[in-house]
Structure 1
Amino acid sequence: MTNDYATTFKIIDVDGDGLISLEEFTRLMEVLGQPVTPETARAAIAKLDQDGDGLISLEEFAGYLR
């Protein structure tokens, strides 16, 4: 099931490190026409971030979208 979301994840993961950072999430929201504050972005990431590293992995991303 994770592979179903891999293509979308790769588009968001601009630097290709396998993780969505605060900066990448913030940029995504700007591109979508929904700019967010750093605080809002951190809160959104915290909802998906299961291991507490402040980043979103593909597994966390896919788990949220399921």
Structure 2
Amino acid sequence: MTENVDYKATFDLIDVDHDGLISAAELKNLMVALGGEVSDEMAEHAVTVIDTDGDGLVSLPELADYLGENTPKS
């Protein structure tokens, strides 16, 4: 398991309602703010890929594990 502290700032940036979970809507809003074109379906799929407990939301440990596994090692 990846250390959550490494990804807390990123998580907090996405979790705009500060409920401790990232929804597909929050992820989409971030991508749009960064200039991306993201459909609801794309955002929902991204959450599904990261969401390991099947609740339809992304927690900090889930995001940290996903990013830790998908970040190139230097």
TM-score by length of 1: 0.94
Give aligned-pair identity as a percent: 52
Match of 1:57 in 2: 59
Q: CA deviation at 1:23?
A: 1.1
State the superposition RMSD in angstroms.
Answer: 0.7
4+ residue runs over 6 A deviation: none
Gaps of 5+ in 1: none
Cα offset for 1:32? 1.3
- TM-score norm. by structure 2 comes to 0.85
Structure with a larger share of its residues in strand? 1
Aligned to 1:8: 10
How many residues are treated as equivalent by the alignment? 66
